[in-house]
Structure 1
Amino acid sequence: MPIIDMPLEQLRTYQGTNPRPADFDEYWERALAEMRTVDPQIELVPSSFQAPNAECFDLYFTGVKGARIHAKYVRPKHTMAPHPVVVMFHGYSGHAGDWSEKLAYASLGFSVLAMDCRGQGGSSEDVGGVKGNTHHGHIIRGLDDRPDELLFRHIFLDTAQLAGIAMELPEVDPDRVYAAGGSQGGGLTIACAALEPRVKKLAPIFPFLSDYKRTWDMDLDQEAYSELRTYFRYYDLLHEREQEIFEKLGYIDIQFLAERIKGEVMMIVGLMDTICPPSTQFAAYNKMNTKKRLVIYPDFGHEYLPESSDRTMQFFLE
């Protein structure tokens, strides 16, 4: 079998390298308490794009720090309520994608909510206001400020808030809320189901945002994780604060959130992934204490995985 990481038998037991902050649980309980105080001020605006089998809306809500967050909402026509909903998350720097991509689920009687991450390629608002670097990358955004100002903290909370909003929609069955995404979207899928444990099923594909120190140790901080090197080159030239920096990143490391998940998991991994190394993904998967399955693509990297969309849809239809 091709290998760029640990042998598969070691991957199946690997528990991660990045340090876990001692107050990790308190940190996220405090964050969730802040999220619950926010009045979401939900707004549904009919889109100019419509389809014969679905209604399409731009959905807006207010997240933590007052940012207005945008999601595309596709609701099937001629389907009895309540019905299931899939909450979708996109790759790093991207956006919620085309309306037409959601219509296959609508044809099966599912609603779809696809979120734009704040400050990335879609229509969500980035309210900013942090000390330090804002030039390159969201992992390190807020790293020179208090841990409560890390940008991915806010994005993780946006995912949980959106799932909660989905559960309150009158046409949605709150017991059939599912989450899916690849790369950053896979990491956000895990964060969403961890922070909103009522999510019933989740299908992360090669998740990003896990085990930062392992990526650094493998010298793979050159693509999606390149901002880690940017940070050290600008702000810690001699690596005198390396332990402190990775421990702070531990607050937004999905491997430590994974143990909170209650829903059923189908995770897809490519063993030739040099963007999000397999070991970083296994670090999260191995901490999940729930019903779970792993689909392994031995010869594929961080790329389109044939049949992965079909597998995800079949998983949600089971």
Structure 2
Amino acid sequence: MPTIDMTLDELRQYKGTNPCPVDLDSFWDESIQEMKSVHANVELVPSKFQVPSADCFDLYFTGVGGARIHAKYLRPKHASEPHPAVVNFHGYSLDSGDWIDKLSYVSLGYSVLAMDCRGQGGKSEDSGSIKGGNTYFGHIIRGLDMGPKHLLFRQIFLDTAQLAGIAMELPEVDGTRVGAFGESQGGGLVLACAALEPRIKLAAPVFPFLSDYKRVWDMDLDVSAYQELRNYFRQFDPLHEREDEIFENLGYIDIQFLAKRIRGKVMMAVGLMDTVCPPSTQFAAYNKINAEKQVVIYPDFAHERLPGINDRTLEFMCGL
């Protein structure tokens, strides 16, 4: 079996390298309470895109820190009520995609909510006042020097959970039958969402990003999606005098440490030739999931289209 990382047996036993902050659980408990205290002020605006089978809206809500977050919302016109819903998260620096991509789930009688991440390619606001870091990329390190509460991915993780909670409260949706799916950054956000909103029933992450940052560094794969880690050290800590501190702070937004909170059923897909999100980093999170789970292995594939995975994901979501 091809490998750029560990053998499959080693991957199934791997527990991660990045240090875990000692107060991680209380940090996220307090963060969830902050999220729940925010008045979301949900707004539905009919979209210019409309089709006979669905009502399509631009949905806006207020997240932590006051940012207005945007999501595409598609509601089937003739589905039974209440009915299931799925939330979808996109890849790094991209956006929520085209409306047509969601219609396969509408055809099942499901509502669909697809979020634009703050400050990336979509319509969501990035309202944080942060020293250092950029907006379109650089989200891992954004806020790193201001303490863990200022980490941008803390806010984005909370946005995913808040959106899922909003979906569960929609009158047309059965709040006990909500799933989440996404690839790469979207896969990492699926796991974060299912951890911070444990009512998520089904979660389908594909080659998840945002896991085990120290392992990425040790493998010298802090290029491509993780290049900002190298950029940060080169610009702000060239002698690595703060290396331990930096990786511990990144531990607050490391999905492997949130995975134990997941209660829903998980189906993860991993390509064993992935050099963007190395398989070991993905298994660091997968191996910490205590809920019912399965992993779909693509031995010869990297961070690319995995044949058949969209079909498998849709079939998996038929279990809602």
Fold shared, TM-score > 0.5 on shorter chain: yes
Instruction: Please give the TM-score of this superposition, normalised by the length of structure 2.
Output: 0.98
Asked if the contact 2:65–2:128 (Cα under 8 Å) also holds between the matched residues in 1, the reply is: no
Give distance in 1, aligned partners of 2:85 and 2:307: 23
Alignment match, 2:275: 274
The percent of aligned pairs where both chains have the same amino acid is: 70
> Structure 1 residue 225: deviation in Å?
0.1
Asked if the contact 2:271–2:300 (Cα under 8 Å) also holds between the matched residues in 1, the reply is: yes
Give distance in 1, aligned partners of 2:83 and 2:307: 28
Alignment match, 2:288: 287
CA displacement, residues 101-128 of structure 1 (integer Å, 9 cap, x when unaligned):
0111111101100000000000000002
CA displacement, residues 238-291 of structure 1 (integer Å, 9 cap, x when unaligned):
001100000000000000000000000000000000000000000000000000
Q: Which runs of 4+ in 1 moved over 4 A?
A: none
Give distance in 1, aligned partners of 2:17 and 2:205: 21
> Structure 1 residue 146: deviation in Å?
1.6
Gaps of 5+ in 1: none
Alignment match, 2:172: 171
Give distance in 1, aligned partners of 2:240 and 2:80: 58
For 1:187, the aligned partner's letter is G
Asked if the contact 1:132–1:145 (Cα under 8 Å) also holds between the matched residues in 2, the reply is: no
Alignment match, 2:311: 310
Alignment match, 2:132: 132
Give distance in 1, aligned partners of 2:80 and 2:283: 39
Gaps of 5+ in 2: none
> Structure 1 residue 186: deviation in Å?
0.1
Alignment match, 1:61: 61
CA displacement, residues 58-113 of structure 1 (integer Å, 9 cap, x when unaligned):
00000000000000000001111011101000000000000000111111101100
State whether structure 2 residue 47 is matched by structure 1 residue 47: yes
> Structure 1 residue 131: deviation in Å?
2.2
Give distance in 2, aligned partners of 1:133 and 1:66: 20
Give distance in 1, aligned partners of 2:132 and 2:145: 5
Asked if the contact 1:89–1:182 (Cα under 8 Å) also holds between the matched residues in 2, the reply is: yes
Alignment match, 1:35: 35
Partner SS, residue 144 of structure 1? helix
Give distance in 2, aligned partners of 1:120 and 1:307: 28
Alignment match, 2:113: 113
Give distance in 2, aligned partners of 1:317 and 1:222: 37
User: How many residues were matched structurally?
Assistant: 318
State whether structure 2 residue 194 is matched by structure 1 residue 181: no
Alignment match, 2:228: 227
> Structure 1 residue 133: deviation in Å?
2.8
Partner SS, residue 225 of structure 1? helix
Give distance in 2, aligned partners of 1:290 and 1:133: 36
